[in-house]
Structure 1
């Protein structure tokens, strides 16, 4: 049972210990709500489909716990539908949860910041209760919420609304867990560490955050890029950013979020919006990239989020199963003798840098593409055609190198031209090949 009830439709909290439910502006509110709930009961409407939820501990934890009303001995009572929701009010805070709260406060104090646990902030007729609130630099407030409960992922609801309410009132939400299912959600900025007992969490060893922090890798979408184009084209010639997972020490995370050197961002990958923590330098570079995606943003010097530490690790680091360790005793293999260079054969010389530079300057006004681009593409096609007519393996190896160098020269010239003219690189390349290989179309 609980004394505070949340009405979903009216969007107000009801205090059953008060005659007016803490809403004197609505006379007869209890009679209306109680009669409505009894009507739902007579019509066999499930409790989960009614208008009432727990507004106390369950709501503070981000859990939607349906309730119904009853009168016992002239006293108003709100009863949970599920036993696990009722037990949440009587079960004390776990030792692991307390250890995290103590560690957050200790890390904050070591960094020169203040803080407190179970902070209740009044917001109008409602309130925000934060597990641990850290007072950072420049008026920054970081609200750490530790979620270690065993409820399933579908039972953890209202996180986005609770985090949004905290953000509107000047509190940066930071949710931490040791459950993989919670860390994969995108309703707020989650961080995750390994599941550990309380005595390991509380000690001064290095506790690592293994999920939630990212390092942004900025790159040009050209032929040398190792990532696929996020826009779904072959190579667009623009600048992009890729979020790469990085570990960070939990204590450093607490201190640097308070100092403002680690900040939350929303990062779009395809159609999905992710929420990560990154360094402030990466956040600034990402803002520059959004302002102009044709060139890479300038580098910013900043200390790494986590460096080496003299502390013993909180838990033993896992051994990388992909690491290939060579055996100690290997038979001696003599080095192969150097082979003589292949005989020189007649081959078309690859385009030089001078050709590429001229391709960037001259343009054929009739077809809209530089005439030198057509020359480079024809040279590459001729080299490839000659390769197909060779049967000697030695000659094919030499000609294959000539063809690859010619193809790389075309790709570099097309990329530079599309980037300079702010054109779609894929369309430029397709138009060029059509002009060279099918001039009549």
Structure 2
């Protein structure tokens, strides 16, 4: 509601707080305007065609916000037709909201795209207003709606209808928030960043989206699968896709949605439909999977959704710079010969006349080892190195030497874990069974 109304035909402002509407030269002005508006209402004339608009905050911002009049408890009231116009009076735009709008426009401009804030698009007899509209490639239009923690969740209504109206008229809705409760809703495609002050959002540091972007993992539902079957059976033998959360930089999100390399999808899990942002390559593979789920869709090349950046992150605005401390020089422990997965190759071949023979002999040895133990020799070597490093740690008593050896043991154990994961994934085996068989084989042999 508002107290000041603009009359389009009379071209005057009406102050509802005053008996004469601030126009003493026009007697009975309220009765005339009110009865005319009620008459239009009985005839079914839309509010947008009744000559009355908000003359307060909306008019100051250059927004045409239709209104109608009513009497409530003996008071004169002017009511907005749209809820978003009403919210403009309740919650003024915060500094954080303005910072996000500026950042979206700056990121779009750096990617070669154009945009504008507070854009109104006419749809039939009504309008839709977008916080920030980015004009992307191939006629693509991304409508960014920023909803921060300025109002409670009960005040956030009409999101689904507004997003559907925007999508129906060629605008891809992209809603961004800093509230977990909003990001968990499924009424539109939400993205979320950490709650940050305006000066942090506005600067050029890396602002990271922590929710809303997914990477699809495609897998075959057999006894070697790492995920449970989504159909609730033991193994159905079909191909499935599982969305995995992945962080992405906010600036990259703005540019790649405009370029079309990041797109929105609707992912059905059971009876629930989730709305995520994914790469266009994952979207195409998901379409292939939905058309034929008896086999895995082919791999597609995709641009990186995010990457390394020289900018400082914005996730810790008040953090104190940390000065790097150079550790004191300490005597190095003897290097364990079994830590590397493969023997180091010389910079130049010692015998250039027979490289193929040496490689053939190595393959024969590797195949023989794998044929006897069922596991490649590289895994056995890595597991032996990790066990040896742990045994050496138990034999040390000096505190400093134990710290160094503990780190060596952790590095060796991490190398084993990575190699086991890669081998199980390549051979389509159960990772837990591979790890258990490897440890049993190495430790039983050691005895």
For this structure pair, what is the TM-score category when the shorter chain's length is used for normalisation?
0.5 to 0.7
Q: Is the 8 A contact 2:261 2:303 kept in 1?
A: no
Q: 2:314 matched to which residue of 1?
A: 314
Q: Is the 8 A contact 1:3 1:78 kept in 2?
A: no
Q: Secondary structure at the match of 1:210?
A: strand
**1:87–1:212 Cα change, 3 Å:** closer
The correspondence of residues 378-389 of structure 1 with structure 2, limited to 5 A, is none
How far did residue 87 of structure 1 move?
7.9
The answer to whether the aligner puts 1:146 opposite 2:146 as a matched pair is yes
Q: Is the 8 A contact 1:70 1:78 kept in 2?
A: no
Q: 2:252 matched to which residue of 1?
A: 252
The answer to whether the aligner puts 1:288 opposite 2:296 as a matched pair is no
The answer to whether the aligner puts 1:170 opposite 2:186 as a matched pair is no
Aligned mates of 2:269, 2:87 — CA distance in 1: 40
The answer to whether the aligner puts 1:27 opposite 2:28 as a matched pair is no
Q: Secondary structure at the match of 2:96?
A: helix
How far did residue 29 of structure 1 move?
6.6
Aligned mates of 1:118, 1:254 — CA distance in 2: 17
Q: Is the 8 A contact 2:105 2:115 kept in 1?
A: yes
Q: 1:130 matched to which residue of 2?
A: 130
Q: Is the 8 A contact 2:34 2:69 kept in 1?
A: no
Q: Is the 8 A contact 1:20 1:29 kept in 2?
A: no
Q: Secondary structure at the match of 2:71?
A: strand
Aligned mates of 1:168, 1:79 — CA distance in 2: 24
Q: Is the 8 A contact 2:214 2:246 kept in 1?
A: yes
Q: Is the 8 A contact 1:68 1:79 kept in 2?
A: no
**1:21–1:98 Cα change, 3 Å:** farther
Name structure 1 gaps, 5 residues minimum: 6-15, 31-55, 58-66, 318-328, 336-351, 353-411, 413-441
- Write out per-residue CA displacement over residues 36-62 of structure 1, whole angstroms, 9 at most, x where no aligned residue: xxxxxxxxxxxxxxxxxxxx98xxxxx
Aligned mates of 1:296, 1:18 — CA distance in 2: 66
Q: Is the 8 A contact 1:220 1:295 kept in 2?
A: yes
How far did residue 125 of structure 1 move?
1.6
How far did residue 205 of structure 1 move?
0.3
The correspondence of residues 195-274 of structure 1 with structure 2, limited to 5 A, is 195-274=195-274
How far did residue 314 of structure 1 move?
1.4
The correspondence of residues 335-374 of structure 1 with structure 2, limited to 5 A, is none
Aligned mates of 1:169, 1:278 — CA distance in 2: 22
Q: Secondary structure at the match of 1:195?
A: coil
Aligned mates of 1:262, 1:22 — CA distance in 2: 49
How far did residue 88 of structure 1 move?
5.3
- Write out per-residue CA displacement over residues 184-241 of structure 1, whole angstroms, 9 at most, x where no aligned residue: 0000000000000000000000000000000000000001100000011000000000
**1:28–1:316 Cα change, 3 Å:** closer
The correspondence of residues 30-49 of structure 1 with structure 2, limited to 5 A, is none
Q: Secondary structure at the match of 2:211?
A: coil
Aligned mates of 1:77, 1:249 — CA distance in 2: 43
How far did residue 153 of structure 1 move?
2.3
**1:87–1:161 Cα change, 3 Å:** closer
More moved, 136-145 vs 90-99: 90-99
The answer to whether the aligner puts 1:114 opposite 2:136 as a matched pair is no
Aligned mates of 1:316, 1:76 — CA distance in 2: 46
Aligned mates of 2:196, 2:290 — CA distance in 1: 40
Q: 1:193 matched to which residue of 2?
A: 193
Aligned mates of 1:28, 1:245 — CA distance in 2: 49
Aligned mates of 1:148, 1:118 — CA distance in 2: 16
Q: Is the 8 A contact 1:21 1:29 kept in 2?
A: no
**1:24–1:256 Cα change, 3 Å:** same
**1:20–1:243 Cα change, 3 Å:** farther
Aligned mates of 1:223, 1:136 — CA distance in 2: 45
Q: How many residues align?
A: 284
Q: 2:357 matched to which residue of 1?
A: none
Q: Is the 8 A contact 1:71 1:77 kept in 2?
A: no
How far did residue 69 of structure 1 move?
3.3
Aligned mates of 1:127, 1:79 — CA distance in 2: 13
Aligned mates of 2:170, 2:187 — CA distance in 1: 18
Q: Is the 8 A contact 1:209 1:250 kept in 2?
A: yes
Q: Is the 8 A contact 2:134 2:142 kept in 1?
A: yes
Q: Secondary structure at the match of 1:131?
A: strand
Q: 1:70 matched to which residue of 2?
A: 71
**1:270–1:23 Cα change, 3 Å:** farther
Q: Secondary structure at the match of 2:43?
A: coil
Q: Secondary structure at the match of 1:129?
A: strand
Aligned mates of 1:230, 1:146 — CA distance in 2: 34
Large movers: runs of 4+ above 6 Å: 16-19, 71-74
Q: Secondary structure at the match of 2:229?
A: coil
